[in-house]
Amino acid sequence: MASRGESQTGRCTRLAAQHYSENHDVDLTDLDPVDSHAFSCRWVDAGDNRLCFHVNFRADAGPHGTQLFFAEVLGDGPPKSVQHCVMLGGQSTWSTNNCTFCSGICHPKASGTFDFGRK
């Protein structure tokens, strides 16, 4: 797929799925970008000029079937570096209001799964 004209959510999804595949020995296919939100890291650290992206996407995770994922991606402008990418389970494993910056994005409740915006 060409990256030219790729949406923010699409680019985050592609990078995050690649990151997840490399770290979990499972190929994510049928990537379905759901939504993403960008905010400045400056809100968290005054000296940090990067942008932080929180993204949700769905993907076919082989034996796990189609699952919803959350990822945190940093970049100097466009999304570039995946910090965390986690598979979300049932509704008890995620929340849409435990992040200071996003509304409508499903964030994992487990600690250590994202660094920016955690309430």
Q: Which residues bind Zn ion (CB under 5 A)?
A: 54, 99, 101-102, 117
**d(Cα 21, Cα 51) in Å, to the nearest integer?**
24
Nearer to Zn ion, 63 or 97 (CB): 97
Residue type present at position 61: A
Tell me how crowded residue 42 is: count the other CB atoms within 10 A of its CB: 13
* Residue 71 neighbours by CB under 8 Å, 6+ apart: 12, 13, 15, 16, 19, 20, 53, 54, 55, 57, 82, 83, 84, 85, 86
3-state class of 14 per DSSP? helix
CB of 4 to Zn ion, least distance (A): 27
Nearer to Zn ion, 14 or 113 (CB): 113
Nearer to Zn ion, 10 or 117 (CB): 117
Nearer to Zn ion, 26 or 74 (CB): 74
CB of 1 to Zn ion, least distance (A): 26
CB of 12 to Zn ion, least distance (A): 12
CB of 27 to Zn ion, least distance (A): 26
